[in-house]
Every structure is written in structure tokens, then in C-alpha cells.
């Protein structure tokens, strides 16, 4: 059994923090991978400004700071950057009281609020900007809730810690003379950008701060159908999109198969663009509709027109079975709907494991699961490792890619990745 993560919080000099009531702390905490308790290290005032600057705060923004400490980010968001409202979520009662006192001193009490509660269970769905200084594991635990509850286009800004394989849209690195908070772990995947354990975006706090920003993506996976004007008249077309968080791939083709290409797709919030040779599109996603402008270059003539496509309706629920990548036995993924949300459970030899990192992207889904996790530790055997999968429903068939990144030795040396086309069979609707 291996403990996954040890977090070390290093206090900073109070004078460097910019608030007279700031504390310096120094403590070492050994915790489970997804922790219920996060060590308190206050964010320096200059870093607060950098975080809010990179988020491009406006008067229309509602900012939530998860793990708000003494309230400095919440206060700065409304006082210095003009946010319409800011809310802090903090578990420690004494820090909530301190935050409210600091807000009164800053004369912003009417535009801020501080909630005493658990940041994992508190509703922050009204946020257009969420700020974090928590830790790598905490970020990953929050990631499904962030993507499923916030509107596409909402910005997530994290001080120092990343979101695993979800690549940031913006990064900002600044040299700092003071120490911050960092994490160390027994982790053979820290340099593997394909799994949630990836830490390559994080910085050494002894030399600099890194600020990372993500934009919540719209759910675009699935089959989209529309019509396109060509030199030979209007043609039916089909856009197939596979989605892994903000990464999107796919194919674009005419229904008569006279044209087919793999476009380069870019997704930023609800803005989607694709380019496949002589066809370019720029538009937006709203639920099951894509609308925008398409440009077609045929025989040297460029023709622009409005274009829209409708997504096929699908039902992902059911029990899907396939052969485990490293063996000959069958494993299953059970997808069901509960209170309007998609819930997934992975089963191997009748041992069900909830898939907490599961994303319903409309016409398809994305999931990650560390097989072998047992609470605070990981049980190492030949089947232990990261299972990553994505699929869309196409005419009732689930099609996508499944990847497996195994542990193989107690030394932590990872095994060879197995990447396969994925077409699990539906055994029970």
C-alpha cells in the first residue's frame, strides 16, 4: 500500500501578505489523495491581483473563492476589480468572522458574502469566476462539479496547482522571493500529461508562483447534422465530435461521402471553431444547436454563409461491457440518471466502483478512474492504473477511445500505456 500524497504548507512572512491580520503558518500534513482538510496558507496580495487580472474581472462578474481564508481575494474582487459580487467559502469559523471584519474595514460588506461550509458541497453555480489555492488533489476532486454546474465560459483560476490532464487556457509565472504551498507525492504519473495525476504545469514555489486559468467548456460531444451550400447546391453534412474536457476531435463529411476531413477543432467556453482545408467555421454552441458562419473555398472562390447544425438526441444510460485492456476478462460501465445528473459505476468481477470523475458532454462522455485506489492509498497489482475513456453514441453504438496507464512495480515505474479504439457493447438498456 502506498500513500499517494503528502502536502507541506509553508508559511509566509506576515509583512509580505499585505494585510495586518495575516498569520504565518508552518505545518506538515499527511492526508489522503482527495482531502477533506486543506492547510491554510494565505495568498500574497500581489498574487491576488495577478489571479484577478488574468481572470479579466468585469462589473458583470460574480466571483467565488473556494477556501477563502481571511477574505482577501473576495474583497479585492469587488474593491479593486469592480466585480458585481463576490462570495467566499471557508470551513473555519474564526476565519469567516475575520473575513467579515475585513470586509467591513474595506467598506464592501454589501457586495460580499462569506459562507461557513464545505467547499465540496456548497453550491457555487452562480459564479462566473472561481478562484482556488487548494492543492492538486482538491482541484481534481472539484473538477467534475466545476464543469457540470458552471456555465460555459466561466473562468477558473488556480494559484500554483493545476487540473491534471485538463490543459489550462492561460498561464502566468512570476518570480517570488517568499515561500508558498506545494505538494509532493509518490506518483509515477506526475510527468504524464494524459492522466489527472499530471503535475507538469505546476511550479517550484521556492522560485516562482504559477497562476493557471481554465475556461469551462460547452458540452459538444456527439453527432451534429446540417446543410451546407456548395458549388453543386446545398448538401447535407455531418459533424462528429469527440470531447475530452476542452480537447475536441472529430470528422466533417457530406452525406453523399463526396467530402470527408478531420478538422482542427478549438473550443473556448461556448465558442467553437473548426478548420478542415477548404472549410472554416466560427460560431457558438447553445444546448443542442451550433450556429455561426461557415466559409467554403471551392475552385478558388470563397463563399460565406450562416450555418447551423442540430445534435442527435441520445440516451447514454445502460450497462456497457468491454474487454479490459490488460486482460481477457470483461468489465462494465453502468451509466444511469439520478436527479437529472449522469452517474457512472465501473465494475470488474462484480466489484462496483463509483466513477466520480465523469462528464456528460451531451452526445457523449469522458471519464477517468484510478483503479486500485482504496481510500487514502493505492493497492498495487497488475491491474492498478489510470483508466481514461471517451465515447459518443452513433446510431445506438458507443464509439470512442479507451486508454490504460498501469503501475507495474512497487518502485513506481509506470508500465506501457494501452490505447485502443473503444466500442463497448450494450448488454442492458
Task: Give which of 152, 155, 174 is closest to 163, Cα–Cα.
Answer: 155
Written out in words, the top-level CATH class of the domain with range 318-428 is mainly beta
Q: Please state the rounded mean pLDDT for residues 148-156.
A: 97
Hey, where are the domains in the chain?
Answer: 2-215, 222-311, 318-428
Region of residue 279 (left: phi > 0; alpha: psi -120 to 50; beta: else): beta
Asked if residues 231 and 299 have their Cβ atoms less than 8 Å apart, the reply is yes
pLDDT 10s digits, 392-416: 999 899 999 999 998 865 555 667 8
Mean pLDDT of 96-123: 96
SS (H, E, C) 201-247: CCCCCCCEEEEEEEECCCCCEEEEEEEEEECCEEEEEEEEEEEECCE
| Structure confidence by residue, pLDDT tens digits, 13-53 | 333 333 333 332 222 222 333 333 455 555 666 788 999 99
Question: DSSP string covering 255-287, please?
Answer: TTSS-EE--EEEEETTEEEEEETTEEEEEEEET
Cα(233)–Cα(149) distance, integer angstroms: 42
Amino acid 18: pLDDT:
34
Is residue 52 a contact partner of residue 73, using CB atoms and an 8 Å limit?
yes
C-alpha cell recorded at residue 189 = 504519473
Residue 181 is predicted with a pLDDT of: 56
- Decide: helix, strand or coil at residue 408: coil
Residue 122, pLDDT > 80, answer yes
Fold agreement between 222-311 and 318-428? yes
Q: What is the pLDDT of residue 166?
A: 97
Q: What is the pLDDT of residues 45-88, one digit of tens each?
A: 678 899 999 999 999 999 999 999 999 999 999 999 999 999 99
Fold of 2-215: Rossmann fold (3.40.50)
Per-residue pLDDT for 158 more than 70? yes
Distance separating alpha carbons of residues 89 and 96, to the nearest angstrom:
8
- Predicted confidence at residue 387, as pLDDT, reads 95
Task: Classify domain 222-311 at the CATH superfamily level.
Answer: Quinohemoprotein amine dehydrogenase alpha subunit, domain 2 (2.40.128.120)
Q: Does 6 have pLDDT greater than 50?
A: no
DSSP assigned state of 414: B
| Residue range 341-357, pLDDT digits in tens | 999 999 998 889 999 99
What is the residue whose three cell numbers read 466533417? 252
The per-residue pLDDT for 160 is 87
CB-based contact 50:79 (threshold 8 Å): no
Q: Looking at 123-132, 260-269, 301-310, which range is the least confident one?
A: 301-310
Contacts of 71 (CB under 8 A, 6+ apart): 65, 88, 90, 95, 98, 99, 100, 102, 103, 112, 114
**214's grid cell:** 481554465
Model pLDDT, residue 185: 57
Amino acid at each position: 500500500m502506498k500513500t499517494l500524497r503528502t502536502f507541506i504548507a509553508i508559511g509566509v512572512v506576515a509583512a509580505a501578505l499585505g494585510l495586518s491580520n495575516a498569520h504565518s503558518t508552518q505545518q506538515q500534513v499527511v492526508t489522503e489523495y482527495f482531502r477533506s482538510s486543506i492547510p491554510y496558507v494565505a495568498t500574497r496580495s500581489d498574487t491576488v491581483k495577478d489571479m484577478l487580472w488574468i481572470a479579466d474581472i468585469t462589473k458583470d462578474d460574480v466571483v467565488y473563492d473556494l477556501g477563502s481564508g481571511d477574505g482577501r481575494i473576495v474583497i479585492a474582487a469587488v474593491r479593486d476589480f469592480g466585480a458585481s459580487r463576490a462570495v467566499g467559502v471557508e470551513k473555519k469559523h474564526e476565519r469567516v468572522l475575520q473575513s467579515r471584519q475585513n470586509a467591513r474595514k474595506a467598506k464592501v460588506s454589501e457586495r460580499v458574502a462569506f459562507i461557513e461550509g464545505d467547499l465540496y458541497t456548497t453550491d457555487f453555480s452562480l459564479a462566473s469566476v472561481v478562484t482556488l489555492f487548494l492543492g492538486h488533489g482538491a482541484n481534481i476532486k472539484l473538477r467534475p462539479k466545476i464543469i457540470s454546474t458552471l456555465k460555459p465560459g466561466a473562468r477558473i483560476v488556480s494559484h500554483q496547482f493545476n487540473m491534471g490532464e485538463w490543459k489550462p487556457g492561460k498561464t502566468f509565472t512570476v518570480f517570488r522571493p517568499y515561500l508558498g504551498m506545494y505538494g509532493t507525492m509518490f506518483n509515477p504519473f506526475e510527468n504524464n500529461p494524459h492522466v489527472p495525476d499530471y503535475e507538469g504545469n505546476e511550479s517550484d514555489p521556492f522560485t516562482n508562483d504559477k497562476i493557471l486559468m481554465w475556461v469551462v467548456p460547452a458540452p459538444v460531444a456527439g453527432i451534429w447534422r446540417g446543410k451546407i451550400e456548395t458549388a453543386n447546391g446545398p448538401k447535407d453534412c455531418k459533424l462528429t465530435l469527440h470531447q475530452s474536457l476542452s480537447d475536441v476531435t472529430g470528422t466533417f463529411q457530406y452525406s453523399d461521402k463526396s467530402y470527408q476531413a478531420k478538422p482542427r477543432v478549438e473550443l473556448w467556453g461556448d465558442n467553437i471553431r473548426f478548420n478542415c482545408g477548404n472549410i472554416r467555421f466560427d460560431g457558438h454552441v447553445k444546448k443542442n444547436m451550433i450556429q455561426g458562419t461557415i466559409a467554403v473555398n471551392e475552385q478558388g472562390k470563397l463563399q460565406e454563409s450562416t450555418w447551423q447544425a442540430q445534435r442527435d438526441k441520445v440516451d447514454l444510460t445502460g450497462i456497457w461491457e468491454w474487454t479490459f485492456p490488460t486482460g481477457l476478462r470483461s468489465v462494465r460501465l453502468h451509466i444511469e440518471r439520478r436527479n437529472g445528473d449522469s452517474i457512472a459505476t465501473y465494475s470488474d468481477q462484480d466489484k462496483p466502483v463509483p466513477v466520480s470523475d465523469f462528464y456528460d458532454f451531451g452526445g457523449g462522455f469522458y471519464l477517468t478512474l484510478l483503479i486500485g485506489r482504496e481510500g487514502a492509498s493505492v493497492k498495487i497489482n497488475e491491474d492498478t492504473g489510470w483508466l481514461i475513456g471517451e465515447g459518443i453514441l452513433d446510431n445506438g453504438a458507443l464509439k470512442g477511445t479507451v486508454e490504460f496507464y498501469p503501475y507495474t512495480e512497487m518502485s513506481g515505474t509506470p508500465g506501457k500505456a494501452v490505447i485502443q479504439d473503444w466500442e463497448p457493447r450494450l448488454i442492458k438498456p
